[in-house]
Amino acid sequence: QALFGSGRRGEVSGGRELSPCLPHTSPPTVRIRIRRASMPEVVSLCKGPKEAYEGLVDKGAELCRKSLPKVFHQSVYAGIYIGFGGMLSLVIAGGLADVSKNNPTIQSFVFAALFPVNLLIIILTGGVLFTGVSATVPAAVFEKKAHWSHIPKLLAISWIGNLIGGVIFALLVTYCDMNLGATAELAKHTIHKKCSKTFLQTLIKGIGCNWLVCMAVFLSGQAQDMAGKMVGIWFPISCFVAIGFEHVPANMFVLTMGLLAGSEETVLDALWKNMVPTTLGNFVAGFIFVALGYSYAFGELGGNNKSPMVLTRCSSEEFGLGDDLADALAANDHGLKAMPASAPEPSAKEAAKDVDIGDSGVYLDFILSPASAFAPAAKAVVEDLKSAYMLRL
């Protein structure tokens, strides 16, 4: 009834047509019998882990439907936002060099506490990071909501976009004489430290980092208010920074700052000793430990049923729908059998079955566009209703 109004035949929620651009013809009608299910008495602002995983999947599926220029655009923006948080941490933590001589933990803590501001901006504005793509897109593939070919394509585009954004921001702040003094010293110290480990050590540190980054995305999806999302993002991100794990989009900015500040390391050192192993480690964490692991725990790989909750997670942008109903739609592969508008009323025998069910046996008729482009949306509506109300067709 929340979607379609009073539940009487021929009515749509709010008395509105499904879309003003639909042709004025006799559209097909779908007749649905709904058996009411008991709804939970306690409502939480935090989703359960299964719902959070399904939100992660839908995030990846939505990204796969976006045009490549949009993905690249959001990747460059994300790289620039990484620069904002990284610069904040370098400036403030760099100024604590004297204070932290006897206790370097102070500088590490301040750097880690300030750095998550970039992930807050990126996640809450729909930015695209390589680290997030390595989990969300494979998860969508595992749940059969995207083709596997999207994985290498979107990983490459996001990696290049993040690099361009991070390098541009580093060049701009250096041009503005902001990469000097204590800030430059910390940047040079950071690049030296990050390029001094072995290939395998850096790869393992990359795995640990992106596991935590993906958990930040996971937790922010569970929270349904701004404060909850901030807390869900802040703790895992500050955790990986303080520990000293390797995050390739962050390194794209920080290593560039160190190079521009005059470090002894070269561009080749930064690429081979850090960027390559960190990229591989970040991908392994997102693909195996998050996407594959949680698909087994909550999704298709583990043979799990879908969550009974009706969740509206995807943008209606790719569907081209103007009605509020579009917010609840997501393409899926479930079938839908439509009855013509002239379909006969249920027989007395069928009506008697409804009476046997009790007052819970009702019919809902709603109008669907005859256009084939609307079919995925119709399928999604029926599937969501089936999950939420034990719907029987």
Tens of pLDDT, residue by residue over 126-157, are 999 999 999 999 999 999 999 999 999 999 99
Q: Residue 352: pLDDT above 80?
A: no
pTM for the structure as a whole: 0.70
Tens of pLDDT, residue by residue over 176-186, are 999 999 999 99
DSSP string, 315-365: -SGGGT--SGGGGG---------PBPTTPPPPPHHHHHHHHHH-TT-EEEE
- Tokens found for residue 203: 């790869």
The sign of the torsion formed by the CA atoms of 312, 317, 319, 321 equals positive
The sign of the torsion formed by the CA atoms of 133, 136, 141, 147 equals negative
What pLDDT score was predicted for residue 331? Answer: 41
| 41 CB-near residues (< 8 Å, 6+ apart) | none
What pLDDT score was predicted for residue 306? Answer: 78
What pLDDT score was predicted for residue 236? Answer: 96
Give the whole-angstrom CA distance, residue 37 versus residue 364. Answer: 16
User: Is residue 311 very low, low, confident or very high in pLDDT (cuts 50, 70, 90)?
Assistant: low
What pLDDT score was predicted for residue 230? Answer: 94
